[in-house]
C-alpha cells in the first residue's frame, strides 16, 4: 500500500461509469439548493444503486482490486474467529452465524471449514451485504472451498425477521459506513458540505483548523443489531481508536482515507464510484451506542491480542505441519496480521453481547475494555 499525491488515470470505461455517478450527485446537490452534507456524498459514492463503489460490479478486494483485508491475507485469521464462534455456539447449545459485508466469501468458507473440524457447525450461516453483486463471487468461493457446506449458507436481503441466537460478525464493515465530516469553529462542530466546483466537487470552505468525522448511523445500526440478537455476541473487527485517541488534538485532519489500486490518498471527492472511501472507527462510540441499545461490552482488544487469545499459534503450527512447504508464506501471514507495524495494533476487535455472560476466549490474554 502506498501513500500518493498522484493517481493513475482510470480507464475510459471506469471514467464513463464515474461520470454517470457524478451526474447523479450533481443533481442531488442542485435539488438541495447548491450543496449536500459530506455524509450524503459518501453514501452515494459508495452505495448509490447500480453505480456506487460497493454496489457496482468492479473488483475491489484482493490483489487485483484496491485494497486487501485480513481474511484475504490468511485463513488463519478466520480460523481464529471460528474458534471464538465455537465457544459461543457451544455455550448456547447451537445457533446461527450472521456475517455482515462478506466480501469475496473467503471468510465464510474458512469459518465454516474450521467449525466443521471442531464439530460445531452453525445451523445457518447467513450473509447480508449492501452489495448484492458480491453474491455470485461469494457463492463461487463457497462452492469451490466447502461445497458440502453450501446448503447451510443463506443470503439475506435484510436483517433476519426473527431474532437469532449465535454470532453476528463483521470484518471491516464499520469503516465502510458513511460519516459526517465536521470542522471545529470556535469549539462548535460545523458539518461540512459538498458543492459543485468546475467539473468536479469541492468542500464548502469553512475557517477552522481541526477537521474530523463521526458515524451518525451508529446508534440506529446498533439498535437493529440488538433487535436481531436474542442471545450471543456481535463481533466487529476494524481499524480505529478509542475516543480520546480518535479526537486527539494532533489528529487535526481526521481519519478519512481513500484506496485506489493499492494506493492511499486523502481526496474523497476524486472520481466518485471508483475508489474506496473509509474512516477509522471510534470504538468508544460503538461501545456507548451498544450500551444504549442493551448490548453489553464483552471485550475489546487489538487484533494481535485477539488472535493470540483465539489460538493463532496452535493454528499456525497445525498449518505448518500440514503444508511444510508454505513455511515462509505462513510466517509472513502471521506477521502481517499481528505485528504492531502492520495490522496488529491498528486493527481492534470489539465484542458486544446480549443474553450471554461467559468470558470470551478471544479476550483472555488482554482485555482492554477499560480504555474505551
Q: Which residue is nearest to ligand SAM (CB)?
A: 101
Determine, following the binding rule CB under 6 A, whether residue 129 of this chain makes contact with ligand SAM.
yes
Query: Which CB atom, from 29 or from 45, has the smaller least distance to ligand SAM?
Result: 45
Pairing state of beta strands 188-191 and 180-185? Answer: antiparallel
Determine, following the binding rule CB under 6 A, whether residue 138 of this chain makes contact with ligand SAM.
no
How does DSSP assign 27-69, residue by residue?
Answer: HHHHHTTS-EEHHHHHHHHHHSTTTSTTTSS---BSTTSSB--
Determine, following the binding rule CB under 6 A, whether residue 255 of this chain makes contact with ligand SAM.
no
Q: Which residues contact 194 (CB under 8 A, 6 or more apart)?
A: 25, 29, 35, 36, 37, 38, 40, 41, 201, 202, 203, 204, 269
Determine, following the binding rule CB under 6 A, whether residue 100 of this chain makes contact with ligand SAM.
yes
Determine, following the binding rule CB under 6 A, whether residue 69 of this chain makes contact with ligand SAM.
yes
What cell was used for 199? 467539473
Query: Which CB atom, from 69 or from 183, has the smaller least distance to ligand SAM?
Result: 69
Query: Residue 174 Cβ, how far from ligand SAM at the closest point, in Å?
Result: 8
Q: Which stretch binds ligand SAM (CB under 6 A): 1-9, 14-22, 167-175, 225-233?
A: 167-175
Determine, following the binding rule CB under 6 A, whether residue 286 of this chain makes contact with ligand SAM.
no
CA distance 19 to 238: 31
Determine, following the binding rule CB under 6 A, whether residue 37 of this chain makes contact with ligand SAM.
no
What cell was used for 272? 466518485
Query: Which CB atom, from 29 or from 127, has the smaller least distance to ligand SAM?
Result: 127
Query: Which CB atom, from 193 or from 272, has the smaller least distance to ligand SAM?
Result: 272
Residue 85's H or E segment, with its range, is: helix 75-92
CA distance 245 to 241: 6
Query: Which CB atom, from 276 or from 367, has the smaller least distance to ligand SAM?
Result: 276
What cell was used for 132? 448484492
Query: Which CB atom, from 55 or from 360, has the smaller least distance to ligand SAM?
Result: 55
Determine, following the binding rule CB under 6 A, whether residue 79 of this chain makes contact with ligand SAM.
no
What cell was used for 91? 455455550
Query: Which CB atom, from 54 or from 125, has the smaller least distance to ligand SAM?
Result: 54
Query: Residue 83 Cβ, how far from ligand SAM at the closest point, in Å?
Result: 18
Which residue's C-alpha cell is 439548493? Answer: 33
What cell was used for 56? 457496482
What cell was used for 211? 477537521
Query: Residue 121 Cβ, how far from ligand SAM at the closest point, in Å?
Result: 21
> How is the beta sheet containing 211-214 ordered, strand by strand?
188-191, 180-185, 211-214
Residues that bind ligand SAM (CB under 6 A): 54, 61, 69, 71-72, 100-103, 128-131, 171-173, 176-177
Amino acid at each position: 500500500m502506498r501513500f500518493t499525491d498522484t493517481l493513475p488515470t482510470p480507464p475510459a470505461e471506469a471514467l464513463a461509469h464515474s461520470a454517470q455517478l457524478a451526474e447523479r450527485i450533481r443533481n442531488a446537490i442542485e435539488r438541495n439548493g447548491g450543496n449536500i452534507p459530506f455524509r450524503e456524498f459518501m453514501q452515494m459514492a459508495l452505495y448509490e444503486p447500480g453505480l456506487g463503489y460497493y454496489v457496482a460490479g468492479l473488483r475491489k478486494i484482493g490483489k487485483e482490486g484496491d485494497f486487501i483485508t485480513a481474511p484475504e491475507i490468511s485463513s488463519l485469521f478466520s480460523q481464529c474467529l471460528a474458534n471464538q464462534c465455537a465457544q459461543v455456539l457451544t455455550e448456547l447449545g447451537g445457533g446461527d452465524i450472521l456475517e455482515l459485508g462478506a466480501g469475496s466469501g473467503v471468510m465464510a468458507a474458512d469459518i465454516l471449514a474450521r467449525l466443521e473440524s471442531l464439530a460445531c457447525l452453525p445451523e445457518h450461516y447467513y450473509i447480508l451485504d449492501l452489495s448484492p453483486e458480491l453474491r455470485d463471487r461469494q457463492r463461487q468461493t463457497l462452492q469451490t472451498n466447502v461445497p458440502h457446506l453450501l446448503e447451510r449458507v443463506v443470503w439475506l436481503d435484510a436483517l433476519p425477521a426473527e431474532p437469532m441466537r449465535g454470532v453476528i460478525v463483521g470484518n471491516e464493515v464499520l469503516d465502510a459506513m458513511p460519516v459526517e465530516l465536521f470542522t471545529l469553529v470556535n469549539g462548535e462542530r460545523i458539518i461540512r458540505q459538498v458543492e459543485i466546483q468546475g467539473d468536479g466537487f469541492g468542500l464548502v470552505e469553512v475557517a477552522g483548523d481541526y477537521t474530523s468525522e463521526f458515524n451518525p448511523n451508529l446508534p440506529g445500526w446498533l439498535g437493529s443489531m440488538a433487535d436481531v440478537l436474542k442471545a450471543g455476541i456481535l463481533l466487529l473487527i476494524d481499524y480505529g481508536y478509542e475516543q480520546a485517541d480518535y479526537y486527539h488534538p494532533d489528529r487535526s485532519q481526521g481519519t478519512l482515507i481513500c484506496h485506489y489500486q493499492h494506493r492511499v490518498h486523502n481526496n474523497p471527492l476524486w472520481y466518485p464510484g471508483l475508489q474506496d472511501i473509509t474512516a477509522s472507527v471510534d470504538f468508544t462510540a460503538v461501545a456507548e451506542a451498544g450500551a444504549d441499545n442493551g448490548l453489553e461490552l464483552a471485550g475489546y482488544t487489538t487484533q494481535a491480542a485477539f488472535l493470540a487469545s483465539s489460538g493463532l499459534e496452535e493454528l499456525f503450527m497445525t498449518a505448518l505441519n500440514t503444508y511444510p512447504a508454505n513455511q515462509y508464506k505462513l510466517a509472513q501471514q502471521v506477521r502481517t496480521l499481528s505485528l504492531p507495524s502492520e495490522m496488529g495494533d491498528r486493527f481492534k476487535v470489539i465484542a458486544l453481547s446480549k443474553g450471554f455472560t461467559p468470558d470470551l476466549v478471544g479476550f483472555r490474554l488482554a482485555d482492554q475494555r477499560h480504555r474505551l
